[in-house]
C-alpha cells in the first residue's frame, strides 16, 4: 500500500474509533472523577470564610487576643491559597476535557460533514456538526460544568446552616427552593427559543454562503440588494430568537442574583434577631450570612450559564442523531487492485434523501482497455449513473462490481486509489497545483504528479503559471479559468493510473487544444489497461471510446460498439414542408443534447 493509501486508511480508522458521544465522554471518566473530588475539597474550603468570621467574633474579640487573630488569619490565608490552586487545577482539567472530546470526535464529525450529503441527511447548514462540536467543547471548558459539580454540595451548606440555628437553615432551604424553581423556569423558557435560533442561524449561514459563492452572478445581474434583503430577514429572525434567549436567561439570572443578595441581608437580620434574643452568638450573624450566600451561589451560577447548557444539550442531541443516521463505516477485508472488468448489474439509483428513481435497471459490462461514452438528453440519468459507478451514490437496487467485487466491499480510501473522477463542475482546493493533482497525499512523489499532468496534457500549461507546480490556488479554485480547472482536475483523476476513470462532461470548458489533450488522455487510459467512462454532450469527447451507452428517461436505450449505436441513434430528421423555413438535417438525440445534470 502506498504512503497516501496508508494515510487515508489511518484517517478512516481514526474516524471509526471515535465511536459515539457517550463513548468519547467515558474516556474522560477519570478526569471527571478528579474534578468531582476537587469540587468537594473546594466546597469544603469555601467554609473557611464563615468559620473565620465565626471565630473572630466569638473568640478573638471577647478575648482580645492578637496572637489568636494572627494564627487564625495565617490559617485562613493558607486555606485560601489551597482553594485557589484547586479551582485553577479544576478549570484546567475541564479545559482539557473539552479538548479531549474535540480530539476524539473531530475526525468522526468531519466524516459526518462530508458523508451526510451523500446519505441525504445533511442539515441545512452543512458545517453545523462542526459548530455543535465547538459548542460542546466551549461549554465543557467554561464555568458551567464547575457550577453543576458544586450543586450537589448545597445540602452540606444547608446542614451547616441548620447546625448554626434551625431558623437559619429554614431560610437557606427556602432560598434553595426558590432558585431551583427559577432554574426550572429558565430551562422551560429558553429551550424553544434556543432551538428556533439554531434553525434561523442555519438558514442565515446557508444564504451567506450562497451569496459568497455566487458573488459574480449577484453583481452582474443586480441581485445584491434583493439577496441582501433575504439575508437580512433571516438574520432578523435569528437575532430575535437570540434576544429572547438572552433576555430570559439574563432576566432570570438577575432575579436570582438579587434574590440571593436580599436573602443574604435577610439572614443577617435574622442572625441579629437571634443575638438580640440571646438565641445565638454574635459570630452567627456574619458567618450565617456568608454561608447562605455560598450555599446558593452554585444555583445562581448554573442559571447564569443555562443558555450555554441548553445550547450544548441541543448540540449533543443533534450530533447523536447524525451519528446514528450516518454510522461509521466498517473496515472491509483488503482486496487486490482491480485490473479486469467493470460490471453494472440492474442498477437503479435515486438521489440521497429522496425516493425519486432517476436511473432504472441499467446493466452493462466493460473489460480492461475499453472506453465507454454515455450520451443522452439532459435529465436522462447520465450523471446519476456515473455517481453510482464511482461509489458516490449507493445503488437503490443492483450492484456495481470491479473484478467481481461490489464497490461496498472496499473502504472509501481503498476504493479511491483505483478510481479517477472528474465531475461536471471541477473544483480544486486551496493549496498548490501539485498538492491538488496528488490528491493531497502526504509526502507525495513529485514525479507522479508530473506524470499525471503529462497524461492529461496539462504539463506545459502548468509550467506557464507564475510558480509552476507550486502555484497556490485560492479558495474555490480562485485564480484559474474554468478550462484550467477542468484540465488540472483531469490530471488529478489520472494520478497514480487508476483502473477506472470516470469523466462527466470533461470537455465542457475546453478549447480545441484541450479537447485533443482529453482524447489522448482517454486513449492513454485504455492503452495501459484501464477502463474509461465518458459522459458527453459533444461528439468530440467520443473520439477515443469504442463503446456507447444511450440513456433516456433514466433507462438504457442502446448499448454496444460505438459505430453501430451511433448509426442507430443519429437518424437525420425528415425535411420540412416546402412552405416552411428550410432546416438543416440534424441528428437526434446527440446533437440536441444540452449541458445539464440528471
Q: Report the CATH number at residue 452.
A: 3.40.50.300
Task: Kindly state whether residue 159 falls inside one of the protein's structural domains.
Answer: yes
Q: How many domains does the chain have?
A: 2
pTM over 0.75: no
Backbone angles phi, psi at 401, to 5 degrees: -125, 140
Judgement on whether residues 63 and 200 belong to the same structural domain of the protein = yes
Residue 552 has a pLDDT of: 93
Q: Is the pLDDT of residue 572 over 60?
A: no
Residue 123, pLDDT score: 64
Count other Cβ atoms within 10 Å, centred on residue 227: 17
Kindly state whether residue 581 falls inside one of the protein's structural domains.
Answer: no
Cell of 325: 443516521
**Local structure of 495: helix, strand or coil:** coil
d(C-alpha 465, C-alpha 299), whole Å: 63
Residues 307, 347 within the same domain: no
Residue 592 has pLDDT above 50, yes or no: no
Kindly state the cell numbers that stand for 281: 452568638
Buried b (16+ CB within 10 A) or exposed e, 455-488: bbbbbebbeebeeebeeebeeebeebeebbbbbb
Query: DSSP 3-state assignment of 262?
Result: helix
Q: Are residues 228 and 168 in the same domain?
A: yes
Query: Judging by beta carbons within 10 Å of its beta carbon (0-12, 13-18, 19+), is residue 4 exposed, middle or buried?
Result: buried
Q: Find the domain containing 510 and state its range.
A: 341-570
Instruction: Pick from 3-7, 17-21, 473-477 the range whose average pLDDT is largest.
Output: 473-477
Q: Does residue 598 lie within any of the structural domains?
A: no
**pLDDT tens-digit readout, 422-455:** 998 888 988 999 999 999 999 999 999 999 999 9
Final residue belonging to a domain, choices 275, 297, 325: 325
Confidence of residue 228 (pLDDT cuts 50, 70, 90): confident
Q: Which residues pair with 397 in a beta bridge?
A: 348
Which residues have C-beta within 8 Å of that of residue 537, sequence separation ≥ 6? 375, 505, 508, 593, 594, 595
Instruction: Note whether 320 and 353 are same-domain residues.
Output: no
Picking from 295, 325, 355, the residue at the C-terminal end of a domain is 325
Eight-class DSSP state of 550: E
Average pLDDT over residues 491-508: 94
CA angle 324/195/151 to nearest 5° reads 90
Q: What distance lies between CA 293 and its chain's CA centroid? A: 43
| Rounded Cα distance, 371 and 503, in Å | 11
- If asked whether residues 256 and 107 sit together in one domain, one would say yes
Q: Count the Cβ atoms, other than its own, within 10 Å of residue 44.
A: 13
Residues 310 and 356 in one domain: no
CB 117 within 8 A of CB 392: no
Residues 498 and 364 placed together within one structural domain of the fold: yes
Determine the Cα–Cα distance for residues 458 and 237; give it in Å rounded to an integer: 49
Strand bridging mode 419-422 / 500-504: parallel
Q: Are residues 264 and 307 in the same domain?
A: yes
Nearest to 455 by CA among 424, 490, 481, 422: 490
Same domain, 80 and 223: yes
**Mean pLDDT estimate for the chain:** 84
**Helix, strand, or coil (residue 93):** helix
Instruction: Tell me whether residue 6 is in a domain.
Output: no
**Confidence class for position 247, pLDDT limits 50, 70, 90:** confident
DSSP letter, residue 63: H
Residue 476: band (very low, low, confident or very high) from pLDDT cuts 50, 70, 90: low
Shared-domain flag, residues 366 and 280: no
* pLDDT digit string, tens, across residues 155-211: 888 888 888 888 888 888 888 888 878 878 877 887 788 888 888 888 888 888 788
Q: Phi, psi at residue 501, to the nearest 5°?
A: -115, 120
Q: Which of 100-104, 297-301, 492-496 has the highest mean pLDDT?
A: 492-496
- Answer yes or no: is pLDDT of 512 > 90: no
Q: Please say if the pLDDT value at position 109 is more than 50.
A: yes
Q: Are 290 and 265 in contact (CB under 8 A)?
A: no
**Is-contact 420 501, C-beta < 8 A?**
yes
CATH number at 139 reads 1.20.1560.10
CB 474 within 8 A of CB 431: no
Residues 297 and 195 in one domain: yes
212 class by beta-carbon count within 10 Å (0-12 exposed, 13-18 middle, 19+ buried): exposed
Helix, strand or coil for residue 594?
coil
pLDDT for 482? 86
Q: Report whether pLDDT(24) > 70.
A: yes
Q: What nine digits make up the cell of 476?
A: 474555490
How far apart are the C-alpha atoms of 262 and 260, rounded to whole Å? 5
Query: What is the distance between the alpha carbons of residues 94 and 111, in angstroms, rounded to a whole number?
Result: 26
C-alpha to C-alpha distance for 558 and 550, rounded to whole angstroms = 5
Kindly give, in sequence order, each residue whose CB lies less than 8 Å from that of residue 172, ignoring residues fewer than 6 positions away. 157, 158, 161, 267, 291, 292, 295, 296
Q: Does residue 585 belong to any structural domain of this protein?
A: no
CA proximity to 433, closest of 401, 404, 468: 468
Burial degree of 442 (CB within 10 A; 0-12, 13-18, 19+): exposed
pLDDT at 544: 93
Per-residue pLDDT at 465 exceeds 60: yes
DSSP-based three-state secondary structure for 18: coil
pLDDT band at 573 (very low <50, low <70, confident <90, very high): very low
Predicted confidence at residue 354, as pLDDT, reads 85
pLDDT value at 486 more than 80: yes
- 13 within domain boundaries: no
Reported as a single tens digit per residue, the pLDDT across 258-290 is 887 888 788 888 888 888 888 877 777 778 888
Note whether residue 597 is domain-resident.
no
CA–CA dist 547, 560 (Å, integer): 5
User: Residue 23, Cα to own-chain centre: how many angstroms?
Assistant: 19
- Asked whether residue 188 is domain-assigned, the answer is yes
What residues contact 209, with CB distance under 8 A and at least 6 apart? none
Question: 342 phi and psi, to 5 degrees?
Answer: -125, 125
124 pLDDT band, cuts 50/70/90, is low
Distance CA 147, CA 47 (A): 17
DSSP letter, residue 570:
B
Give the separation between CA 569 and CA 588, rounded to whole angstroms: 6
DSSP string, 368-411: TT-EEEEE-STTSSHHHHHHHHTTSS--SEEEEEETTEEGGGS-
268 and 408 within one domain? no
Asked if 56 and 284 count as a contact pair (C-beta separation under 8 A), the reply is no
Amino acid at each position: 500500500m502506498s504512503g497516501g493509501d496508508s494515510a487515508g486508511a489511518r484517517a478512516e480508522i481514526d474516524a471509526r474509533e471515535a465511536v459515539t458521544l457517550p463513548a468519547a465522554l467515558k474516556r474522560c471518566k477519570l478526569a471527571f472523577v478528579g474534578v468531582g473530588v476537587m469540587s468537594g475539597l473546594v466546597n469544603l474550603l469555601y467554609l473557611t470564610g464563615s468559620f473565620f468570621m465565626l471565630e473572630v467574633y466569638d473568640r478573638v474579640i471577647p478575648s482580645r487576643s492578637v496572637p489568636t487573630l494572627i494564627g487564625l488569619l495565617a490559617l485562613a490565608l493558607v486555606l485560601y491559597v489551597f482553594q485557589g490552586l484547586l479551582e485553577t487545577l479544576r478549570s484546567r482539567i475541564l479545559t482539557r476535557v473539552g479538548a479531549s472530546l474535540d480530539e476524539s470526535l473531530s475526525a468522526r464529525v468531519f466524516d459526518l460533514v462530508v458523508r451526510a450529503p451523500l446519505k441525504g441527511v445533511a442539515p441545512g447548514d452543512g458545517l453545523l456538526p462542526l459548530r455543535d462540536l465547538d459548542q460542546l467543547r466551549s461549554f465543557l471548558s467554561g464555568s458551567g460544568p464547575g457550577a453543576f459539580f458544586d450543586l450537589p454540595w448545597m445540602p452540606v451548606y444547608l446542614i451547616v446552616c441548620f447546625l448554626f440555628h434551625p431558623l437559619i437553615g429554614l431560610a437557606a432551604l427556602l432560598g434553595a427552593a426558590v432558585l431551583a424553581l427559577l432554574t426550572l423556569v429558565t430551562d422551560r423558557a429558553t429551550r424553544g427559543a434556543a432551538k428556533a435560533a439554531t434553525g434561523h442561524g442555519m438558514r442565515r449561514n446557508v444564504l451567506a454562503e450562497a451569496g459568497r459563492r455566487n458573488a459574480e452572478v449577484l453583481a452582474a445581474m443586480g441581485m445584491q440588494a434583493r439577496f441582501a434583503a433575504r439575508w437580512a430577514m433571516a438574520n432578523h429572525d435569528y437575532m430575535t430568537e437570540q434576544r429572547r434567549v438572552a433576555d430570559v436567561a439574563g432576566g432570570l439570572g438577575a432575579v436570582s442574583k438579587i434574590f440571593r443578595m436580599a436573602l443574604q441581608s435577610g439572614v443577617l437580620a435574622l442572625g441579629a434577631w437571634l443575638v438580640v434574643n440571646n438565641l445565638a452568638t454574635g459570630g452567627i450573624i456574619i458567618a450565617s450570612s456568608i454561608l447562605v450566600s455560598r450555599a446558593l451561589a452554585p444555583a445562581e451560577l448554573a442559571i447564569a450559564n443555562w443558555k450555554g447548557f441548553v445550547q450544548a444539550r441541543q448540540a449533543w442531541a443533534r450530533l447523536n442523531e447524525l451519528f446514528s443516521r450516518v454510522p461509521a463505516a466498517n473496515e472491509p477485508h483488503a482486496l487486490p487492485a482491480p485490473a479486469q472488468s467493470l460490471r453494472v448489474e440492474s442498477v437503479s439509483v435515486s438521489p440521497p434523501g429522496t425516493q425519486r428513481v432517476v436511473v432504472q435497471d441499467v446493466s452493462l459490462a466493460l473489460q480492461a482497455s475499453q472506453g465507454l461514452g454515455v450520451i443522452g438528453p439532459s435529465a436522462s440519468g447520465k450523471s446519476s449513473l456515473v455517481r453510482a459507478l464511482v461509489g458516490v451514490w449507493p445503488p437503490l437496487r443492483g450492484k456495481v462490481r470491479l473484478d467481481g467485487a461490489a464497490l461496498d466491499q472496499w473502504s472509501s480510501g481503498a476504493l479511491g486509489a483505483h478510481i479517477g473522477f472528474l465531475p461536471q463542475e471541477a473544483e480544486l482546493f486551496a493549496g498548490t497545483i501539485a498538492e491538488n493533482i496528488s490528491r493531497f497525499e502526504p509526502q507525495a512523489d513529485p514525479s507522479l504528479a508530473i506524470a499525471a499532468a503529462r497524461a492529461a496534457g496539462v504539463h506545459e500549461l502548468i509550467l506557464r503559471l507564475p510558480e509552476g507546480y507550486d502555484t497556490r490556488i485560492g479558495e474555490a479554485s480562485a485564480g484559474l479559468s474554468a478550462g484550467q480547472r477542468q484540465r488540472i482536475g483531469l490530471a488529478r483523476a489520472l494520478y497514480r493510473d487508476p483502473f477506472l476513470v470516470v469523466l462527466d462532461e470533461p470537455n465542457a470548458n475546453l478549447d480545441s487544444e484541450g479537447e485533443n489533450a482529453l482524447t489522448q488522455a482517454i486513449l492513454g487510459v485504455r492503452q495501459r489497461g484501464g477502463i474509461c467512462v465518458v459522459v458527453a454532450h459533444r461528439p468530440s469527447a467520443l473520439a477515443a471510446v469504442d463503446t456507447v451507452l444511450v440513456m433516456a428517461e433514466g433507462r438504457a436505450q442502446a448499448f454496444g460498439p460505438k459505430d453501430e449505436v451511433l448509426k442507430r441513434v443519429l437518424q437525420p430528421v425528415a425535411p420540412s414542408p416546402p412552405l416552411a423555413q428550410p432546416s438543416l438535417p440534424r441528428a437526434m438525440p446527440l446533437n440536441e443534447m444540452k449541458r445539464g445534470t440528471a
